[in-house]
Amino acid sequence: MADKTYRIMVINPGSTSTKVGVFDGETEVFTKNVSHEASKLAEFASVSDQMPYRRDMILSILDENDVALDTIDAFVGRGGGLLSVEGGTYQVNDVLLDHAYRGANGIQHPAQLGSQLANEFATKAGKPAFVVNPPDTDEFCDYARMTGIKGIYRNSHLHALNLKETAIRHAHSMGKRYDECNFIVCHIGGGISISAHKQGKMIDGYDIVQGEGTMAPTRCGAVPVAGILDYLEAGHSIKDARGMCMKTGGFVDLLGTSDALEVSNRAAEGDVAAARAWGAMLYQLNKYIGSMATVLGGKVDGILLGGGMVYNQGLVASIKENCGWIAPVSAYPGEFELEAMAAGAIRVLDGEEEPKTYTGVPVFQGFED
């Protein structure tokens, strides 16, 4: 382990905001979350066209905090737009930049800007740029990929960055390495990821983009296929159905709000519909956590909870009551995304981890027979 304390700048572009942070090792120098007016973002034809706007905004934040680019040892951007990869820290290269610019995975999301912005600043400073455990991290075992329809496979779309960082940190708190442990790790926020981690690999999880797992504030979760066919036959469009998977399902469709705190409060105050929706979400959470215990053969070192909804003590209590017999339940409210990005770069700079190379070849391309 090197003695040097590295200064890392991290950039996490979101749909309505940009999070920026600078860390000296694990110590936060500053973090800032800047909101963007929807009307301003609407001026840009594509996600990647937003790059100069967000770049200039970040430069002004650095100026406000008296941080010069040449004091930064490495720049880390949120991965986005990439094809499936193993987990790890990837040094930004031309292939990665091209895929991020185009959105090679077919999903247009501001996370694509992360690597582009990191590379822009890194080039000016003459330092490396990285992405860490991007959203397209895929370490599924073969059985987890299969469905009962030939040519249709389950995909890994999860909050990989926060899930893996939570597992790494918890393993460290146990005096162990991540690759020595088995965990069930959940990110419980606007979207809900539930995943099985076996000796440092995220071998299974519920696809939060394509309508799997529990319902969430904006997502429908798993729905009977025949029910979706009925939904379409009733006059709804395919676009409507896809929206239910990510933006307009869950609490939004059932109760007209994506605010989980509002739903929880309404339930506590006797709103029958809110109580039913909130209770169903908790029921499903516990059920899907239990299913990941079987994936790990019952050998589970811990059930780890992260994300904004984990601030809700009733939610945590429900999981402890219903799943605590599987393994100890530990709550990490909020998320470690900025810290996780910095930590990934530091592991590489310290020589603890080898940087990986993004080739643009998906880790899974179907089975040969």
306-318 per-position pLDDT tens digit? 999 999 999 999 9
pLDDT band at 232 (very low <50, low <70, confident <90, very high): very high
In a domain, 328, yes or no: yes
Q: Does position 11 have pLDDT exceeding 60, yes or no?
A: yes
The span from the CA of 30 to the CA of 74, in Å, is: 16
pLDDT of the residue at 1: 47
In a domain, 278, yes or no: yes
Are 322 and 342 within one domain? Answer: no
Are 282 and 353 within one domain? Answer: no
Q: How many domains does the chain have?
A: 2
- DSSP code string of 277-312: HHHHHHHHHHHHHHHHHHHTTT--SEEEEEEGGGG-
pLDDT > 70 in the chain, percent: 99
In a domain, 79, yes or no: yes
126 CB-near residues (< 8 Å, 6+ apart): none
**DSSP code at position 165:** H
Token pair 């029921």 is found at 283
pLDDT band at 2 (very low <50, low <70, confident <90, very high): low
254-281 per-position pLDDT tens digit? 999 999 999 999 999 999 999 999 999 9
pLDDT > 90 in the chain, percent: 84
Q: Between helices 260-268 and 272-295, what is the axis angle to 10°?
A: 120
Are 127 and 197 within one domain? Answer: no
Q: Which residue has the higher pLDDT, 82 or 37?
A: 82
333 CB-near residues (< 8 Å, 6+ apart): 306, 307, 308, 310, 311
Q: Does position 369 have pLDDT exceeding 80, yes or no?
A: no
Are 230 and 106 within one domain? Answer: no
The span from the CA of 315 to the CA of 307, in Å, is: 12
Which of these, 156, 165, 211, 123, lies nearest to 334 by C-alpha position? 165
Residue 338 CB coordination number (10 Å): 23
The span from the CA of 287 to the CA of 192, in Å, is: 13
The span from the CA of 120 to the CA of 54, in Å, is: 11
pLDDT of the residue at 16: 78
Are 211 and 88 within one domain? Answer: no
Give the global pTM: 0.90
Which of these, 296, 135, 114, lies nearest to 207 by C-alpha position? 135
28 CB-near residues (< 8 Å, 6+ apart): 21, 22
Q: What mean pLDDT value characterizes the chain? A: 94
In a domain, 154, yes or no: no
175-215 per-position pLDDT tens digit? 999 999 999 999 998 889 999 999 999 999 998 888 999 99
In a domain, 369, yes or no: no
Token pair 């779309």 is found at 157
In a domain, 283, yes or no: yes
> In sequence order, what are the beta bridge partners of 103?
none
Which of these, 62, 36, 56, 61, lies nearest to 120 by C-alpha position? 56
The span from the CA of 134 to the CA of 258, in Å, is: 25
Token pair 């860490």 is found at 132
Are 288 and 183 within one domain? Answer: yes
Are 328 and 191 within one domain? Answer: yes
Are 314 and 347 within one domain? Answer: no
Cα dist from 166 to 30, 39, 320, whole Å: 21, 35, 18
Give the CA diameter of the chain: 64
Are 292 and 172 within one domain? Answer: yes
- DSSP code string of 170-213: HHHHTTS-GGG-EEEEEEESSSEEEEEEETTEEEEE--TTTT-S
In a domain, 189, yes or no: yes
pLDDT band at 39 (very low <50, low <70, confident <90, very high): confident
Are 316 and 200 within one domain? Answer: yes
Amino acid at 181: C
Mean pLDDT in residue range 346-358: 95
Domain residue limits at 43: 7-140+338-357
Are 245 and 98 within one domain? Answer: no
In a domain, 113, yes or no: yes
CATH assignment at residue 182: 3.30.420.40
120-166 per-position pLDDT tens digit? 999 999 999 999 999 889 999 999 999 999 999 998 989 999 999 99
Cα dist from 229 to 37, 96, 139, 141, 351, whole Å: 37, 37, 31, 30, 52
Are 117 and 164 within one domain? Answer: no
